[in-house]
Structure 1
Amino acid sequence: MMFRGFILFISSLLSFCESQHSTGRIVPFEGRFEDKIHTDPSIFKVDSLVDGDTFWVLDSKGERIKIRLIGVDAPEVKNVFRKKKHPFGAVSKGYVDSLLLSNRFVRLTFDVDSLDQYGRTLGYAYLNDGTFLNEHLIRQGYATLMTISPNIQYEEMFYEAQVYARENKLGIWKEED
């Protein structure tokens, strides 16, 4: 009887830990991003949206910068470069659009390489509520993991997020009815 109680306790503890883990990474930020854009060089205003992993921002001087999220590969909304349009591309873009249109200011951090082969700035994006956008998109199944060395700072976290999305059949991992 005592062993059974111990097993139930461990099972409950593991379930609790998984539920805490599944919410994604949150990094608190004091204040509102829009109030800090002229004093914090890591704050940018979202200007326009391209697809599920790329968007344009304005810096504090109003200069446009094209951002490509590090570690994230969202399905394409149209044929681009060597990649083909994917049926889930519009869904992924719509989700990112809804997040960024309701969070017009983001905090960006960077890794080792700052530009990709197409001249886009590579970054990690955080919403004002602390949501780590790169990880969130993978965890919710709106993008998949794509790390390119040397920008691998969060590779393990992104891998865990993708495992979670696949196991829970979220977004792109959802089985067709």
Structure 2
Amino acid sequence: MIHFHKLIPIALVASLAGCNLFSGQNTYPVRRVSDGDTIAVTQGDKTNVTVRFACIDAPEVPHSKKEKNSQKLLDKNQFNWGIKAQSRVQQLINQGGDRVVLNITDTDRYGRQIAEVRLPNGTFVQENLVREGLALVNRPYLRYCPSKEIIEQAESDAKKNSRGVWIDPQFVPPWDYRRIKK
């Protein structure tokens, strides 16, 4: 098993040398950041593919005008964290030159590709989100996560250091939020 955190020095040297560590056929241009755990990419044949991040679940973002205007504290809290996660993903994608490397592990019931997402320099997007407390480990789906140990360690670190949602006693995990909202 490759431990990508051990590749950071190699990635640094490769980026300084002006080459991409993960260049090749599985590097995709990002068309849109939908939320904190979903992006749209363009394949070589110019078709658009929705990619759901493996391993994690990020807080929800508002999808409708009604949700955007909600005054409910539960909604406001969830959407506040969701927007922060979405913004962080966009920031990371920008740092990667609007390109990502996908390790596709499955397809979900909605036809989305489930993938570990890295930047061309090796930065593991899911690890960053979880370590910063902007996403949680999605334990029921860890079987689709080849780097699950990295993700679990990142969450442990975020909890221990009270980062992001781990400092917010009002935060409701996204899976519980969706269940409550039904």
Identify whether the pair has TM-score above 0.5, normalized to the shorter chain: yes
Runs of 4+ in 1 over 6 A off after TM superposition: none
Write the mapping of 1:14-53 to structure 2, written as runs, cut at 5 A: 25=5, 27=7, 28=10, 30=14, 31-32=19-20, 36=23, 40-53=24-37
Q: How many residues align?
A: 144
- Distance apart, 1:129 and its partner CA: 2.1
Deviates more, 1:51-60 or 1:153-162: 153-162
8 Å CA contact 1:26, 1:131 repeated in 2:
no
Structure 2 residues not aligned, in runs of 5+: 65-73, 170-182
Corresponding residue number in structure 2 for 1:72: 56
Give the counterpart of 2:157 among 164, 169, 176. Answer: 164
Name which one, 1 or 2, has greater alpha-carbon Rg. Answer: 1
Query: Could you report, residue by residue, the CA deviation over 1:65-96 in whole angstroms, capped at 9, with x for unpaired residues?
Result: 1000000100000269xxx8513111111111
Give the counterpart of 1:119 among 111, 124, 127. Answer: 111
Aligned to 1:75, what secondary structure does the other structure show?
coil
Quickly say closer, same or farther: Cα 1:26–1:136, change in 2 above 3 A.
Answer: farther
- Distance apart, 1:135 and its partner CA: 1.5
Task: Kindly indicate whether residue 146 of structure 2 is the aligned counterpart of residue 153 of structure 1.
Answer: yes
8 Å CA contact 1:26, 1:130 repeated in 2:
no
- Distance apart, 1:149 and its partner CA: 5.5
Aligned to 2:107, what secondary structure does the other structure show?
coil
Write the mapping of 1:105-144 to structure 2, written as runs, cut at 5 A: 105-111=99-105, 114-144=106-136
Percentage of pairs with the same residue: 25
- Distance apart, 1:101 and its partner CA: 2.6
Distance of 1:88 and 1:166 partners within structure 2: 16
More helix, by proportion:
2
**Structure 1: which amino acid aligns with 2:112?**
R
Give the counterpart of 1:94 among 80, 87, 98. Answer: 87
Structure 1 residues not aligned, in runs of 5+: 1-23
